[in-house]
Amino acid sequence: LLRLMNVGKPGTGCTTTIPETEMTCLIMMAKEVFAGQPMMLECTAPINLCGDIHGQLSDLFRIFNMIGWPPTANYLFLGDYIDRGRWSLETILLLFALKVKFPENFLLLRGNHETTIVNRIYGFYEDIVRRFGTPRLFNAFQEVFAMMPLSAVISDRILCMHGGLSPQLLTAGSISILNAITRPLDVLNYP
């Protein structure tokens, strides 16, 4: 965690400070944490909601420095952690490390960029293969993304998700159907 918090300083890129084997271990630990949590998380206020990060590690640091680092502040992130930004790998690894260390007060939902078809198109795949010469880590990330929860309810009143309310969710009580979704969840993107 400390090494990830120093990424971005000169000579401290992720691939120079953290061995691939440690990254894989962290990814698998995150997978186990997500597997032990429901598809629809239940949390209580106060909690800080955060939208798309898209590999902007400096923005993530700025959020934590302004509001507080876990566990002094509770967080619910709504997805889209990777792609587009320069530091996608470092961003998702830091988020996973915080999730593993603080599983109950650091919550991560799956966004559309945590799907294979989207993160393959928008740069995550190319970034991993360029850095490591193999898609091995990319494939490991896909396994974790398939285990991530899709929604959260704050204090039994506020429904949170990345986007796209299903027309099948007609009443407040019908959202409990989200917990019936089995994992791993392969998300299909239709045109």
Which residues are within 8 A (CB) of 93 and not within 5 positions of it... i.e. 6 or more apart? Answer: 4, 14, 18, 23, 26
**CB burial readout 53-85, b (16+ within 10 A) else e:** bbbbbebbbebbeeeeebeebbbbbbbbbbbeb
Q: Alpha-carbon distance 176 to 167, whole Å? A: 14
Catalytic residue among 54, 99, 113, 162: 113
Asked if 149 and 33 touch (Cβ cutoff 8 Å), the reply is no
Examine the residue annotation and report whether 113 is marked as an active-site residue of this protein. Answer: yes
Prior bond to 191 cis, omega within 30?
no
Q: How far apart are CA 55 and CA 61, in angstroms?
A: 11
The residue assigned the tokens 């559309």 is 112
Residues designated as active site: 113
